[in-house]
Amino acid sequence: MTTTVRLLAALFALAVLAPAAMANPVYDKIEDTFYLRGEGCGATENLYLDDRSAVDEYDGCGTIGGLPVNEAVDAEDSLSTTKAYDLILDGDGQVEVVIRAESWVGDGFPGAGQSVVDVSLSAHPIATGGPFVPPVTLGSGTSEILVAGQDNATHTFTFDIPDTAHQTHVSGFTLKVSVRGANVNVNNLGMSGDSYFTIDLLEEAV
């Protein structure tokens, strides 16, 4: 076989194998964590999700004892990522959401009563030039904890990522949270690293 024929055979093999390799990428399983973050309070508050934790000035913002405002007006906070990501959902994985309801005063001040937290988490698929793609619902639920002298109530939710969302590329997330319940001193949304969610993702292997 001449050198030219060998070269043509090698090029033909690459032409056949390359599309197959591109059509079936290999993924590594990873996880990432997003924290509930907040600046200001009341009319000046700015709530969002971030992949980094820090001390948040929103800590301590909320009702002062008594009935939580969300119980009275059926309100909720909506937090979204502010950066543009390219993340790949793992349809075989899970999401764990941790929400801490705490005192407006700070740690060490006991509370009492029923702490209730509602959450709903969705992901935003990346549009690829086609029509608008609706958000992917990752999970929603309600958690109730009876508080008797503790200074916080930490609520944990676990959701299975839908099979239909497997390998979906998303640009970010939105988390809706309501902290309510007939309680005293555990009715504020804790931040500064205390409330967050961890999600299973995929990453193309190098």
The domain locations on the chain are 26-204
- Classify strands 169-180 and 94-102 as parallel, antiparallel or unpaired: unpaired
Give pLDDT, residue 73: 52
Q: What is the pLDDT of residues 120-176, one digit of tens each?
A: 999 999 977 666 788 999 999 999 999 998 989 999 999 999 999 999 999 999 999
pLDDT of residue 41: 83
At 201 the pLDDT is 98
Q: Find tokens 């948040």 and name the residue.
A: 56
Separation CA 77–CA 106 (nearest Å): 20
Asked whether the beta carbons of 111 and 189 are under 8 A apart, the reply is no
Q: Report the chain (206 residues): mean pLDDT per 10 consecutive residues.
A: 50 51 81 96 87 90 58 74 96 97 79 93 85 88 94 96 96 95 86 96 92
pTM of the model: 0.83
CA distance 52 to 46: 16
Q: In this predicted structure, what is the pLDDT of residue 64?
A: 57
- CA 202 – CA 87 distance, rounded (Å): 8
Fold of 26-204: Jelly Rolls (2.60.120)
